[in-house]
Structure formats: structure tokens, C-alpha cells
Amino acid sequence: RPAAGRDPEVPGPRLGAWRAAYDRSVWRVAVPAGAGPAGLELEVTAGGVSRRGLVERVDQESSAAWTHGTDAFRLGASPAAPVSGPRAVVLDVSGDALTVRVAGALPGQEVALVSPVLTVSALLDADGIALVPLVADRWGRGARPLPTATYALLLDGEPVRPGHAVDLPLAVETDQLAGWWVRAGEGTALRLTPPRPVESRTMHGHRELRRSYREREVAVDPDVAMFQSYWAESATDSPLAICQELLRQRPSTKAFWGVLDHSVPVPEGTTALVAGSPEWYDVLARARFLVRNTELGAYTRLRPGQVHVQTFHGQVFKTMGTALWRDVRKLPEFVVQHEATTRRSDVWGLITTADPSSDRYYRELYGYRGPVHHHGLPRTDALLAPGADVVRARTRELLGIAPDQVAVLHAATWRDDRTTGVNAAADVQHVSMEALAERLGPGFVVLQRSHGSVARSSVRHGDRPGVVDVTDHPEINDLVLASDVAVLDYSSLRFDYAVTGRPMVFLVPDLEQYREDVRGFLFDFEPTAPGPWVRDLDGLVDALSDLDAVREAHAAAYAAFNERFNRWHDGHAAERAVQAMLALPPV
């Protein structure tokens, strides 16, 4: 459409762009089954423009759609010739398997659903049918439904086009899964989404759920506790340790976990609720304890008697709170205060810190005035548990680590200047882990653990010779126990790792930039990094090749580090935290 007041015969930016887009368009029209293209004449009207013409050919993507190539109907280049190749028809989707028929394929060919997160596959039978599993046991924790992701349908590694009678997108719904079959380039894909009820998947429906949640008047149940870690991708960290200890001290507790989808395993004796579902909002409204290591949503309304136990997810070190928003990100003061108090400390009912020296940062940088439990982070208990050696052996076996191999855990934190979306970021790769594994030789194996924000970007490095990608492993403590040395940077994982007494090497080529321009520190980095600092592959190889020398050279600094930061990490932090929770004023 030409711009208002402009002569329609005089080309301009709007008119030209409209013409270019229109001339390149392909018009697709659904017709009754069996109508066939021969002699079929169609007239299409859109935007006040009509075109009429004879059907020239069957569209390459579906027999229920036709394209027109006559000059009167379709302008521009003629359509490309139809693409031949295998085509898939989904026969059935159950809770455990996808039944798919692939025309134009041979028995024994592999049909796979492939995503950056996970791959599942099956072989075609004599009838060209495969039962592809929709469950998987990725980490030895039992078969679970596939996690939320987009899975390309591949035949021997090549895309499979939708069948002639397939009209995509096509909804997929089971008790445990929800999503759509969609076109993906030349092929098809299964796009799984969090399996919430249909009415809660739209923006309007979710707003109504939140409105209803806020307006409901409901009594708080003193025996109900709700847990959630990060953005519901796993049941881990301090909320997990507190949950297990609460059930031990008070077995009558009805414990619920907020999960992204049903691929997330939860502790025995607890109930998983898909975050954002009506059932999740119901428990959010009536649980006595809301235990999380991230913030509650801005829509949260705490009822009288509810307590938000904020465990955070690591020891204090990086610039945070008002210092981050005011000094680093230069936000207006009213935004700084809103983020610190209204969005955070105003709803904290009890916070956990590693030791009393950490308390002041939450008092000063968030204006928090409530109770603090400062006797250790519960998430470290598993590293000192009586069964830690068993966990180490089991995890190493699952990951394929030989008894005589040295396992190197590489776990870098995210970089604020590499964000790619909400709670997502691009990975930092100062050194190639594949090159590191090659230089170290077969006596070593590298466990590459990308940060959670990188995992949310759906980018994975994948397994390579000498490197195991453990980004999606649900429990970082298992990886710590399985490893023999860690390559870290500014991540708070170094505080936890030191509890094991194993050596650490710090890969920090961007130390000055990170400290001055990217994030900043609350106190000096040097006493918090008791190990060699390296900047490149050569330095990393040198340090890892002589771990006895690393231990000896940094023994004094390591001991001072643990005395300062890990005094309360004795394997009983969760026990003390639960006692503090239960000592709060009753409902």
C-alpha cells in the first residue's frame, strides 16, 4: 500500500518494498481432499488484490496445497522443482514412544530425534515403521520424558520431509509431553514445550492464572513446602539439601518441586509440579515455606504465615545489588531501589549465607533487615556426606572415566557482556577443551560444564575425543566428586570445590577486563583463588601436568582460604538451616 498522500504511481520506499515482497510471494490454498490439480482454477483475494489462475503443479510441501505459476496469479521467478526424498507420517504419539512411518526409506535405517540437549533413535522395520522412544535415561537416574527442546527428525543423519497428507503444525499431547510437529527448513521437527494445560500456554491464559492466584484467599498450610532451583531446570543446590533434611526432621511435610517439565527428576517422597501450571500456582498460594535459590516472580503475593527462604546459589563475591545496578549498569536510582527491595529483599523471610562475614553485603546492598542463617550453605553437605565416595565411583563409571584417568572439571562462569536473552548467555571459550585434552593425553579426561545461562541458550559443545560435555548433568556436586582437579575462574564454585581439598587452576585471561568493565568484585580476587593463575593453553597444560607441584605450592593459601570461607561447611549446614526455618514464628 502506498504511503498516505503519495501518488500511487510514483515509486517510494513503502511502495517499492511492498511490490518486492508481493512479487516474491507464494500463495498456498487448501482444497478438498482428492480434488487434484488438473483443471482446477482458483481465485485468491488478499489485501484488496485478487488473482486468478489454473493450478500448475502440486506444491512440494503438501498435497493439500497448490501453487500457481501463471503470470496473472504469481509474479516473479517460477517455483523450484519438487524435492524428492523420504517423507514421514506420524502414526501415533504415546507417553513412551513416537510411531513414525518413513516412505522412501529402507529397513534398518536409523530414525532419530536430534536436539542439542539429547538424541533418541530407533531403526525402521520391514514396513518402514520405527518406534522412537520419547523417554531417556541420560544420567543414570531412571528413564524420564524428553526435556523441552526442538528435535529435528533425521533419517541416517539427513532431514525427513513431512508426508504428503501431513498438515503442519500438528499438536502433540500426552500425559507427560506437549508440543508441535513443525516444518524445519527442508525437514520436520518435534518442538517440545513445558507441558502445561492448554489454557495456561497463551499469554492471556497465563495472565488469568496469575490474576486468579493473586486474588484468591486461601489458608496457608503449615505442612506444605515448595522448592525450586534456578529456573526449574533441575532439583539441585541448597533447596535440594534443605528439602531432604526437612523431610528427615519433619516426615509429615508435603513437599512439592517446581519443574520446567517432567524430564526433571525430583527427590523421593516429593511431588513435581510444572512451573506455571494451575497446580503450581495453587501450591505457591498455600505453602508455608517457599524455598528457592533465585527470586520469586514479581507477581508473587505472600499470604500471612508464608516464608520465602532465599538460599541464593553461591557465596558472595561478584558485584551485586545496588553496587551492580547503580555503579556498573548505571541504572536510575528509582530502578536501583526497586530491584534491591521491592523485587527482592522485601519478600525474603529468611536468607542463608556461608558465614557471618557475608551478612553485611545483603544488609548494605539490598537493604535487607530480616533474619539471616549464616552457618554454611546447605548445598555443600553432599560433598562431605558419608556416601560421597560411592557417588564419585558411580558418576565416573557413568561418564566413562577410567579409574586411572585424571578427570579435569572445567566450569567457567558466564559473562555479563555476552548475554543473548533472558537468563541466557553465549559461552566463553578462552581455551579449546579439545586442544587441552589432546595436549594432556589419554591419562586425562576433560568434563566441560558450561554455565546454566549458556545451557538456556540451547548451545552445546558435545562430546569430543577426551572431552565429555556435562552441561546438562542435573547435579554439579556429582561432577565435583567425580573430578580430580578443577579449572575455574570467577565462579562461586571455587568456594564449594575447596571443601574437597582437591587442587584448582584458575584460567583468567580476562581478569582485568572482568574486574574493571564487565562485572567487578566485592573484595580482592587473589585470596579467593588458591591455585595457579594461567592465561592460555600452555599455562593450563603446565599446571595440570604436575598436580603434586600445584598442591605443594599453594597449600598455605588453600588452608587460609578454607579457614576464611568454609569454616561452617562441615556436612551439617542443611540440618542447621532447617532448624532455623522451623524456629520461625508459626502460622
pLDDT in tens, 191-204: 999 999 988 888 99
Domains and CATH numbers, the chain: 1-82 (no CATH), 87-193 (no CATH), 204-376 (3.40.50.11820), 386-565 (3.40.50.12580)
Determine how β-strand 270-274 pairs with β-strand 254-259: parallel
Question: Band of the pLDDT at 410, cuts 50, 70, 90?
Answer: very high
Averaged over 30-55, what is the pLDDT? 56
Question: Band of the pLDDT at 85, cuts 50, 70, 90?
Answer: confident
Report pLDDT for 201: 87
Using CA atoms, how far residue 355 sits from 54, 202, 573, in Å, is 79, 44, 11
Chain centroid to CA 390: 28
Burial of 509 (0-12, 13-18, 19+ CB in 10 A): middle
Using CA atoms, how far residue 436 sits from 402, 427, 476, in Å, is 18, 17, 22
Using CA atoms, how far residue 109 sits from 83, 96, 123, 155, in Å, is 20, 21, 6, 7
Q: How far apart are CA 189 and CA 162, in angstroms?
A: 9
Using CA atoms, how far residue 567 sits from 248, 392, 559, 579, in Å, is 24, 24, 11, 19
Q: Which of 231, 229, 257, 264 is nearest to 145 (CA)?
A: 264
Task: Dihedral sign for Cα 357, 361, 363, 364, please.
Answer: positive
Report pLDDT for 30: 53
User: For all residues of the chain together, what is the average pLDDT?
Assistant: 89
Query: Cβ(428)–Cβ(412) under 8 Å?
Result: yes
Identify the DSSP state of 378.
G
Burial of 395 (0-12, 13-18, 19+ CB in 10 A): buried
Q: How far apart are CA 382 and CA 325, in angstroms?
A: 34
Query: Cβ(526)–Cβ(501) under 8 Å?
Result: no
Report pLDDT for 68: 37
In the block, which residue shows the cell 506444605? 224
How many other CB atoms sit within 10 Å of the CB of residue 161? 25
Determine how β-strand 221-228 pairs with β-strand 65-67: unpaired
pLDDT in tens, 356-399: 999 999 999 999 999 999 999 999 999 999 999 999 999 999 99
Residue 538 CB-half CA count within 13 A: 0
Between 28 and 292, the higher pLDDT residue: 292
Q: Taking the CA atoms of the chain, what radius of gyration do you get in angstroms?
A: 28
Report pLDDT for 46: 54
Question: Band of the pLDDT at 82, cuts 50, 70, 90?
Answer: very low
Residue 79 confidence (pLDDT) above 70 = no
pLDDT in tens, 86-105: 898 888 888 799 999 999 99
Determine how β-strand 158-159 pairs with β-strand 150-155: antiparallel
Across 27-36, 517-526, 535-544, least confident range: 27-36
Determine how β-strand 221-228 pairs with β-strand 287-292: parallel
Burial of 220 (0-12, 13-18, 19+ CB in 10 A): middle
Query: Cβ(469)–Cβ(459) under 8 Å?
Result: no
Q: Which of 131, 136, 138 is nearest to 146 (CA)?
A: 136
CA dihedral 415, 417, 420, 424 (to 10 degrees): 30
The phi and psi torsions of 448 (rounded to 5 degrees) equal -95, 115
Residue 581 confidence (pLDDT) above 80 = yes
All three cell numbers of 380: 555443600
Name the pTM for this structure.
0.85
Report pLDDT for 50: 61
Query: Cβ(164)–Cβ(87) under 8 Å?
Result: yes
Question: Band of the pLDDT at 481, cuts 50, 70, 90?
Answer: very high
- Per cent of the chain over pLDDT 90 is 78
Q: How far apart are CA 216 and CA 225, in angstroms?
A: 19
Report pLDDT for 54: 60
CA 111, 116, 117 angle in degrees (round to 5)?
95
How many other CB atoms sit within 10 Å of the CB of residue 384? 14
The three-class DSSP label of residue 127 is coil
Q: How far apart are CA 292 and CA 585, in angstroms?
A: 20
The phi and psi torsions of 67 (rounded to 5 degrees) equal -115, 155
Question: Band of the pLDDT at 422, cuts 50, 70, 90?
Answer: confident
Q: How far apart are CA 463 and CA 482, in angstroms?
A: 17
Between 209 and 3, the higher pLDDT residue: 209
Q: How far apart are CA 137 and CA 460, in angstroms?
A: 18
Q: What distance, in Å, lies between the first and last C-alpha atoms of the chain? A: 64
**What are the residue ranges of helices labelled H in 41-188?**
none
The three-class DSSP label of residue 521 is strand
pLDDT in tens, 335-349: 999 999 999 999 999
The DSSP annotation for 39-60 comes to T-EEEEEETTEEEEEE--EE-T
pLDDT in tens, 255-304: 999 999 999 999 999 999 999 999 999 999 999 999 999 999 999 999 99
Identify the DSSP state of 229.
B
Report pLDDT for 100: 94
Host H or E run for residue 425: strand 424-425
Report pLDDT for 42: 64
Q: Which of 487, 585, 483 is nearest to 539 (CA)?
A: 487
Across 151-155, 308-312, 415-419, 535-539, least confident range: 415-419
Query: Cβ(498)–Cβ(530) under 8 Å?
Result: yes
Residue 56 confidence (pLDDT) above 60 = no
Question: Band of the pLDDT at 28, cuts 50, 70, 90?
Answer: low
